[in-house]
Structure 1
Amino acid sequence: MLEVQRSLMWRYKVSIFSVLLALLPGLLLRSLNVDVDISLLFCVAVVFSSWYSGLTSGLFAIVLSLIAIYFFVSPINLLGTSHISNIPNLLVFCGVALSINWLISKRKQENASVLDLTKRQQVDKVLAQEQANHELERQRLRAVLDILPVGVFISDSKGQLLENNSAARAIWGDSAPLVEEVDQYQNYKGWWANTGKPLAAQDWALARTLATGEAVIAEEVDIETFDGQRKTILNSSVAIRDKTGTIVNAVAVNVDITDRKQVEATLRKSEAIAKARAEELEIFMETVPAAVWIARDPHCHHMTANRAAYELMRVPPGSVMTATPPDGKYTFPCKIQKNGQDIPLNELAMQQACRRGQAVEAEFEFIFDENDIRYIYGKAVPLRNDSGAVRGSIGAFLDVTDRKQAEAERQQLMSLLHQKQEWLDLAHAAAKLGCFDWNLQTNVNIWSKELEAIYGLQPGEFGGTYEDWAKWVHPDDLAKAVAKLDRCWSARTSEFFTDFRIVKGDGSLSWLQVRARIFYDDAGQPWRMVGVNIDISDRIQAEEALRRSELMFRTLADTMPQLFWITQPNGYHEYFNQRWVEYSGTTLEQAQGNGWQHIVHPDDVERTKDIWQSSLRSGKHYDIEYRLRRALDGEYRWHLGRAFPLREQDGSIVKWFGSCTDIHDRKLAIEERAQALERERAARIELEKANHMKDDFLAIVSHELRSPLNPILGWAKLLRMGNLDSKKTTQALEIIERNAKLQARLIDDLLDVSRILRGKLSLSLSPVDLVAAINAALETVRLSAEAKSIKLLLQLSSDALKVEGDCNRLQQVVWNLLTNAVKFTPEGGQIKISLEKVGSQAQIQVSDTGQGISPDFLPHVFDRFRQADNATTRKFGGLGLGLAIVRHLVELHGGTVRVESLGEGMGATFTVLLPLIPTVSQTSTSDRKLVSSCSPNLNGLRIVVVDDDIDSLELLVFILKQYGAEVTSVNSASEALKAIARVKPNLLFSDIAMPEMDGYQLIQKVREMEVFQEEKLPAIALTAFAGEANHQKIISAGFQQHLTKPVDPAELASAIAKFMVTPVQPLTTSH
C-alpha cells in the first residue's frame, strides 16, 4: 500500500531527531578518545530521514549534519584556511549523502508505483507527480553535484557510469567517457601514489566497491587526464543498496589534491630549509668566535648565550647569563666599566637596544682584577614581534684586547716608521742611494730627488724617460747594461743588478750600481721595474786599493817560509798561502773548512782540534806544536802553529791569522840533546852499577878460578910424590879432570858472554834431532847426578822432532839447564827431562825438586851475573852466566825460555820452546850430517896435526886415534907443509901461535899450493886465542873452523865429524 503522507513539520522533526542521535554518540565516543568517523553516523541520519520522510527531509538532514559538523565536531571552523586539507572529506560526505538521499527517494517513488491497482489512476497521477518531482529532484541533485568542489561518479551495479558532475569533468577532462562496464575503467589511467604502480581496471575504488561492497576512503592516486595532464587525487567510493542489501548503485568521489600536494611539497621544503637554517644558526652560534646573547624579553631578564659568551664571562655553561635578572642579583665574576667608570646595568648595550628600539654599538671593559682586563666591542639590535613591539634583543661581542694592544703597537710602529723614514732619507743621502720606478710599457721613469742628486741634477730636472737616463751613461757601459737587461727580460728573471759609469755635466765620472726588481704581466711581458742606484765610486776606489793591498799581502804570504793561513771568526779556514799548498799537496779548495786536518798526524788531530776550539771560544792566542805530513816524501814534520785574532774596535773578532813554522830539526835536536842527557845519566848510573858488578864479578871470577886450581895443584903435587896407591891415584885424576873441566867451562862462559855483549855470537844452522841433542847433553851430567844420588827421569817424544839450529849450541842449552838443576837439587832429589810437541813448536822442560826460586828473584833469573844471594854464591859456586847464555841461545834459535817456581824449597821448572821444521819422509843429507855430528866416527880419516906445544900435540894425537883417525903429527909449520905434500890428508889441524911460521902463514902457503886444484884442504885452527876478533881473523886467513883450547875429546871428535861431512864449506860459529 502507499505510504501515508506525513505532515511537513513531522518530517523536519524526524530529520532533527536523527541528526541529534548521530551527533551525541559521536561526541561521546570522541570524548572517550575513540577514533570514529562521525560523518558515517551523519550518513546514517540522512538515510533514516530520507527513508522515513522523503527527499526533503533527507536534504534537511544533510544541512543539519553540515551545521553540526561545522560547529560541534573537531576541528572547529572546518572551513577556515588552517583546515583546508579536511574540506575534501566534507565534500565527499556531501556527495555521498546527496546520492543516498536521491536514490532512496527514487526507490520510494518506484515502490509507490506498484501500489494497489484500484488506485492506479491516483497512482498514475501520483507517479506523474512523483516523476515530475523526481525530475525536479534530479535536477536539484545535478545542481547540487555540479556545485560540489569534488568530482562525483555514479554507477549502476554493473559498473556503468551513469552520472558525473562538472568537478569530475574538470579533473579528468571534458572528454572523460561514461563507460558501460568495469573492464572499460582501464581507459582511466592511474598509478598508486605511494608505489608508482599502474592501476588495472579492477583496482579502481569504484570497481572494488562494486565487487566487495566495501567503502573505499581517500586513496591517493596519480592520474593522467584525458587532455594529458598529470594530477593527484583522493579517490573514495561507497555502495548504495536496496532494502534487501543488494548493491544497486555506487558513488565514487575524486578530490583533486594536486595543488595541495604542491603546497605540501613546498611546505616540506620550507620546513627543511627552516630546520637547516635553525641548525646552521645553532652551529653558527657555537662556532662563531663572537660571544652572542639573546634576550627573550624587553627587560633582558632572561637571556641565552653561546659557548663563546660563557668562555668570555668565565662562567660554566648553564649559568645565569644576564646582568639584569628578575631577582636583581649580579652574578658575573667581573666588573663592567668604560674608561675606568662602572657602567649602570640598565645602560648596557642590549638593555639600551630594548629601551630605545634601535641598534646600539658599545665598547667597554671586563675587569676581572687589576692585572686582568679584557677590552670588549659589540653591537646589540632589538627584536620585534608581529605588531612591531620590542620583544627582546640580540647582541654580539668580541674580545678586542689583542686588537687594542695591536693598535697601540701599530701606533707605536707608525711613529717608529715615521722616524725610520726620516732616518732612511738621511741614510739615502749619506749612502748616495736613490730610487726609481720605471713603467716599461709607458716609458715613464720616476726618480727620487736623491737619485737626481747622484746624477748631478737639480730636483725635477730629470726628463723621466729611458732616453733621458741613457744620455748620462758612459758609452762603453750602456750597451753592456742594456744587453744584460735584455737577457733578464728574456729569461723572466725578477732580479737585476749591474755596475756602470755615468758622465756628469761637469765631465766627472762616477760608478753606479743598480739593483732592481722586474715585474711581469700575465702574458709574461715586463711592465715595471723598481730599484735603486747606488753611488759606488768610493767603493770602487777602495776595492782597487784593497786589490793592490791584497796582491801585496798574497805576494808577501807566498814568499814567507812559513805555512800561512786565515780563518773566519767561527774557525772556517778560508785561505792558505802557496807554501801550504806546496807542502800539503792539496789545493786551496781542498784545504778550506776542515780539509786541512787530513795532513795532521793522527795522534795529534784530537789535541789540535781541542786547542783550536778552545781558542775560538776564548779568543786567546792559539799556540801548539804538532806534526804535519809533507806531501813530497810523506814525512811527518814538527811545526809550531800560532794564530792571533784580528778584532774590531768593539773587541769582536774579524779574522784569525795563523802560521805554521817548521821546527822539526830544532825539535829533533832538542830531543836528541835530551835523549843524550838521559843516555848519559843512564850510562853513568849503569857505569856505577857496572863498576859495582865488575868488582863483585872479579871477586867471583877470582874465587871460581882459584877454587878448581887448588885441588888440581894439590893432587898433582901428591901424584908427583908417588906415594898414592892405585885407588887414590884414580881418585886424584878424576878430581883433577873434573876441576879442569870446570875451569874450562868457566872460561867458555866468559867468552860466550863477551860475544853476546858485543853481538858477535852466531850459529851454524842445520837440521837438529832434539832427542839426540838431549841424550848427548844428558851424558855429560849423568856422573854428576849419580854422585849426588839424583834420579834422572827422561820422557822424550817418540816423534822425530827436528829444529833448524846449531847442534852444539842446543846441547849447550840443555847441558846448562841440567847442570843448573843438578847444582841446586839436594842429594836424593829428582830431575825430570821431557820433550814433546806443542802445536808447531818443540817443548823442552827441565824440572827439579831443588832449592826453588823466590818470587822476588824470579824476574832476574836470566840476568847476567845475578845470583840469589852471597850465600848461594858461596855454597854453590858459579859465575851466574849459564842461564843468561841459555836465554840468548834460545832466542837466537827463534824460541823462548821461561822459568816457573812456587817459591824457595819448591823446585823449579825451565821450559824451552823452539820452532819445528817440517818433517820429511826420507832421510836426507842433513839427517846424515846430524847423525855424524852427534855420533862422532873418524875411522879412516887422514889428519895432519901441527902444534909447537908437545903436550898439546901428543894429547890431540891420542884423542884422534881413539876415534879411529890416521894422524900425522908435526911440531912446526915447515914440517907440516912437507907432511901435507906427502900424506895427502883429509884434514889439517893447526895451532896458531908457533915460532918462525905461525898458523896464519901456514894456511896461506897451503892455499897458494891449491891454486890449480879443484878441492881445498879442510883446515881447523885449534888455539888458546879466543874472542870474536881472533875468530874472524882465523876464518879470514883461510881456516874453515876455529876451536879454542882446552877442548873436550868428545866435542873435538864431534866437531871434526860434523865438519868433514861438508869439507868445502866453512863452519864459522863453533868457538
Structure 2
Amino acid sequence: MSQLDRPGPPEAAALLAEREHLRALLRLMPVGVFIVDARGWPLESNPVAESIWGGPLPRVGLEEYGIYEGYWPGNSRRLEAHEWALARTLRDGHPVVNEEVDIVAFDGARRTVLHSTTALKNPQGTIVGAVAVKVDITPHRQAEHAEAFLSEATRLLVESLDWEGTLRAVARLATRQLADYCIIDVVGEDGELHRLVAAAREPKHQPLMNEVLRFPPKVGSPSPLSRVFHEGRPLLLPDITPEVLSMTARSPEHLRALEQLGPRACMAVPLSVGARRVGLLDFILATPGRSYTERELKYAEELARRVAFVVEHARLYREAEQAVEARDEFVAIATHELRTPLSALSLQLTALQRAVDAGRMPTEDKLRRSLVTARRQTERLEQLVKHLLDVSRISTGRMELELELEDVDLAELVRWVVVRFEEKLAEAGCTTVVRADAPVVAKVDRLRVEQVVMNLLSNAMKYAPGQPVELHVERGEGMAVLGVRDSGPGITLEAQARIFERYQRASGKHSRESLGLGLYVARRIARAHGGELKVESTPGQGAHFFLHLPLG
C-alpha cells in the first residue's frame, strides 16, 4: 500500500478517488515521475521511472540516497547523497530544471537522464514533499557520441599515411565512445581475413582481447562475422547467445576468451569498396542493459565506408610502390641481361664482317664456332623475352586464360624433354636418371608443363654441372607428381622462401646468368593448373623440386 493510501479524514473517499486519477495520469506520462515526502521517502512513481532505474524504487530517505549510483558528466565524479537534485530541492526549496546525470541503474544498465524537481508546499509555505521528473536522453546522447566519434575517426583517417596505426587509433577511439570492444579485420594477399586490432575499453580486458587477436573469422565458416563478410550486409545483434559464441569461436581457447569478455550485443559491418570486400569492422557491448540502435548502425556503416577507402587506398599505394620498385629493379637487371648476349652476338658478327671485308674468309671450323656462339646467344635472348612475356601475362591475370588443357602422359613428356636436352646435358657433363616406368596422365597444357620441366632441368645443369640429374614421375594422393633432383650446392631455408619470387637470382658465380624469372613463372604455371611447385633442399646436398599437377 502506498503512503497516500493510508486512512485520512472523513473526506478520505474523495481523496482516494483523486489519487487513483493521479496514478492513472502518471501511468500515461511518457517521462519518469515520482513523488516523495519531506523526508525523501517515495510516495508514488510511474512505470517509466521504474524502467529508468531498472526496477522498483527503494523505500529509503534522504540520508540513504547514496544507494543511487550517478555521475556528473564531464568529470565522472559520483554524486554524494546530498547532491541529488531531489535532495537539494527538499533542503532549500529551489527547483532544478534539466540537470544531466549519468546513472547506473539497479539492473546494471547505464543511462543519461535529465532530472527536474520542484517542491510541494502546504498553505503555510512549508515543504511537505517534492516531485521529480526524469527524462531518459540516452539515445540522444548516444547519437551525439556516435557523431563525435565519426568526426574524430574521420580526422584520424585523413591525417596519416600510416594506415595500420590509424586503424588502431580508430579502434581505441571506438572503445571510448561507442563500444566496450572494437575489432578490425582486413583481407590479406591470401584472401583470408587477418585481425589487425582488437581493442578493449578497460585495460584489464586487453589481455583477453590480445588472445582474441589470434582468431580472425575464417572465410566461408558459419560464423556470423564470416557471413557478414561473405554477404556484404551489416549485422545488428541485440543479444549474443551462447550459441552465437560457439559459432564464432575457432577453438576452445577462443571460446573461453569470448566467454570471459562477456559480450552482450554487437554490430558488425563489412568494409567494402564497390563489390569487393576488404575487411570487417566489429563493435561489441558488454554493459548490461545497453544495446545498439539502427541509428548507431548507420553511423557504423558510414565509418566502415571511410575505413574501407583508407584500406583500399593503402593497398593501391603499396602496389604502386612495389610496381615502381619492381620496374626499377627490372630495368636494371633486364638492361644488363639483354646487353650481355647482344654484346656477344654483336662481337661475333663484327669479327666476321671485318674478316670478309678484308678478304680473309674464316676457316670452316672458326665459322662453325662463331655460328654456335651466335645460336646460343640468340637462344638466350629468346628465353629472356619469353620469360618477360610470361611475366607480363601473369601481371595482367591472363596466364590462366592461355592454358590449353589436354590429357598428357607426364612420363612420356619427361623422356621427350630429356631427349631434346641431350646436347646441352652433354655439354654440361650431366647424365640423367629417369624413373618414369608407368604412364601418369595429367590434365595440363603440354607446352606449359614442358616449359616448367625445361626450366628445372636447365637450373640443374647450371648449378650442378658434371653431376647426375634425376627425374621421376609418380601418382600421388589426387595429384600427379613430377620431380627433378640435382646434386648441386643446395638451397638454404631462407633462400627457399625467396627463389619463387620475381627477379630473385642466385648468389655467387651464377648471379649474372639469370633474370630471376624462371622459377617465378614456373610456379605461376603450376598454380594456374590448380597445382603447385615446391622445393626440398639441404645446403650441400642438392635440391629436389616437386611439380604437383591435377590427374587426367
Question: TM (normalized to structure 1)?
Answer: 0.29
In 2, Cα distance between equivalents of 1:657 and 1:856: 50
What is aligned with 1:908?
543
Distance 1:766 1:611 in 2: 56
Mapped partners of 1:817, 1:861: distance in 2: 12
Structure 1: how far apart are the matches of 2:405 and 2:525?
12
Q: Which residue identity lines up with residue 909 of structure 1 in the other structure?
A: H
- What SS does structure 1 have at the residue aligned with 2:413? helix
Aligned position for 1:867: 505
Task: Indicate conservation of the 8 Å contact 2:526/2:549, yes or no.
Answer: yes
Question: Take 1:902 and 1:569, find their aligned partners in 2: how far apart are those partners?
Answer: 68
User: Which one-letter code corresponds to 1:777 in the other structure?
Assistant: V
Distance 1:656 1:825 in 2: 70
After superposition, where does 1:94-105 map in structure 2 within 5 Å?
none
CA contact (8 A) 1:901 1:907 kept: yes
What is the CA deviation profile of residues 773-799 of structure 1, one whole-angstrom value per residue up to 9, with x for unaligned ones?
Answer: 21222233221110122111111132x
Q: How far does residue 884 in structure 1 lie from its aligned partner after superposition?
A: 0.9
Matched, 1:743 2:224: no
Do the aligned partners of 1:704 and 1:879 also contact (CA within 8 Å) in 2?
A: no
SS of structure 2 residue aligned to 1:900: strand
CA contact (8 A) 2:408 2:443 kept: yes
Partner of 1:383: none
Q: Aligned AA for 1:817?
A: L
1:710-859 alignment, distance < 5 Å: 710=346, 712-714=348-350, 716-717=352-353, 720=356, 723-761=361-399, 762-798=402-438, 800-826=439-465, 828-859=466-497
Please give the residue correspondences for 1:168-207 in structure 2 after superposition, counting only pairs within 5 Å: none
Equivalent AA in structure 1 for residue 24 of structure 2: E
Which amino acid in 1 is paired with 2:106?
Answer: P
Distance change >3 Å, CA 644–CA 817, structure 1 → 2: closer
Structure-2 change in CA distance of 1:885 and 1:568 (3 Å): same
User: 1:541 — aligned with what?
Assistant: 22
Per the TM alignment, residue 548 of structure 1 is displaced from its structure 2 partner at its CA by 3.8
Alpha-carbon distance, 1:613 to partner: 7.9
Pairing of 1:229-628 with structure 2 (within 5 A): 431-434=4-7, 450=8, 454-455=12-13, 535=16, 537-549=18-30, 569-571=106-108, 602=248, 626-627=267-268
SS at match of 1:853: coil
Structure 1 pair 894/642, CA: closer, same or farther in 2 (3 Å)? closer
Q: Distance in 2 between matches of 1:848 and 1:687?
A: 34
Residue deviations 1:234-255, cap 9 Å, x none?
A: xxxxxxxxxxxxxxxxxxxxxx
Counterpart residue number, 2:77: none
Residue by residue, what CA displacement relative to the aligned partner does 1:375-430 show, whole Å, maximum 9, x if unpaired? xxxxxxxxxxxxxxxxxxxxxxxxxxxxxxxxxxxxxxxxxxxxxxxxxxxx99x5
Contact 1:715 1:736 in 2 (8 A): no
SS in 2 for 1:910: strand
Name the structure, 1 or 2, with higher relative contact order (CA <8 Å, separation 6+). Answer: 2
Q: Give the match for residue 328 of structure 1.
A: none
Q: Quote how far apart the aligned CAs of 1:657 are.
A: 8.5
Measure the CA separation in 1 of the matches of 2:486 and 2:372.
26
TM-superposed deviation, 1:538: 2.2
Match of 1:878 in 2: 514
Is the 1:792–1:832 Cα contact (8 Å) retained in structure 2?
Answer: yes
Shift of 1:836: 1.6
Alpha-carbon contact 1:833-1:844 (below 8 Å) kept? yes
Letter in 2 for 1:570: D
Residues 485 and 545 of structure 2 are in contact (CA less than 8 Å); yes or no, is this contact kept in structure 1? yes
Superposed CA offset, 1:675-707 (max 9, x none): 145325524542453254134323333334425
Distance 1:719 1:807, change over 3 A: farther
Flag the 1:832–1:675 CA change in 2: closer, same or farther, 3 A.
Answer: same
Aligned counterpart, 2:157:
none
| Superposed displacement of residue 829, structure 1 | 1.3
| 1:686 and 2:322 correspond | yes
Structure 1 stretch 772-781 or stretch 891-900: which is displaced more? 772-781
Q: Once the two structures are superposed, what CA deviation does each residue of 1:308-349 show, in whole Å capped at 9, x if it has no partner? A: xxxxxxxxxxxxxxxxxxxxxxxxxxxxxxxxxxxxxxxxxx
What is the RMSD of the two structures over their aligned residues, measured on CA atoms?
Answer: 4.5
Q: Partner of 2:123 in structure 1?
A: none
Q: Structure 1, residues 43-86: CA drift from partner, whole Å, max 9, x if none?
A: xxxxxxxxxxxxxxxxxxxxxxxxxxxxxxxxxxxxxxxxxxxx
TM (norm. structure 2) is 0.53
Distance 1:612 1:544, change over 3 A: farther
Q: 2:371 corresponds to which letter in structure 1?
A: L
Inter-partner Cα distance in structure 1 for 2:337 and 2:456: 21
How far does residue 811 in structure 1 lie from its aligned partner after superposition?
A: 0.9
SS in 2 for 1:856: helix
Q: Which residue identity is paired with 1:910?
A: F
The answer on 1:887 being equivalent to 2:523 is: yes
Equivalent position of 2:74 in the other structure? none
Distance of 1:592 and 1:736 partners within structure 2: 73
- CA change 1:612–1:546 in 2 (3 A) is farther
- Tell me which amino acid in the other structure corresponds to 2:417: A
* Mapped partners of 2:19, 2:280: distance in 1: 47
Task: Determine which structure has more spread, i.e. the larger CA radius of gyration.
Answer: 1
- Note the alpha carbon deviations across 1:236-288, whole angstroms, 9 max, x for none: xxxxxxxxxxxxxxxxxxxxxxxxxxxxxxxxxxxxxxxxxxxxxxxxxxxxx
CA contact (8 A) 1:843 1:914 kept: yes
The letter of the residue matching 2:30 is: S
Answer yes or no: is the 8 Å Cα contact 1:708–1:743 preserved in 2: no
Q: How far apart, in 1, do the equivalents of 2:338 and 2:315 lie?
A: 32
Q: 1:628 to 1:738 in 2, by over 3 A?
A: closer
Q: SS of the residue aligned with 2:30?
A: helix
Distance, in Å, in 1 between the alignment partners of 2:27 and 2:514 is 87
For residues 104-150 of structure 1, the C-alpha deviation after alignment (integer angstroms, 9 at most, x for no partner) is xxxxxxxxxxxxxxxxxxxxxxxxxxxxxxxxxxxxxxxxxxxxxxx
- Partners of 1:754 and 1:806 in 2: how far apart? 19
Contact 2:444–2:550 (CA<8 Å) still a contact in 1? Answer: no
Match of 2:92 in 1: none
Instruction: Report if aligned partners of 1:804, 1:916 keep a CA contact under 8 Å in 2.
Output: yes
The structural deviation recorded for 1:837 is 1.8
C-alpha displacement at 1:893, in angstroms? Answer: 1.5
Asked if the contact 1:809/1:889 (under 8 Å) is kept, the reply is yes
Q: Counterpart of 1:569 in structure 2: which amino acid?
A: F
CA distance in 2, matches of 1:569, 1:592: 24
Distance in 1 (alpha carbons) for counterparts of 2:354 and 2:341: 21
**Deviations along 1:636-665, whole A, 9 cap, x unmatched?**
9968678999xxxxxxxxx87974611333
Amino acid at match of 2:414: I
* Structure 1 equivalent of residue 63 of structure 2: none
Q: 1:666 to 1:538 in 2, by over 3 A?
A: same
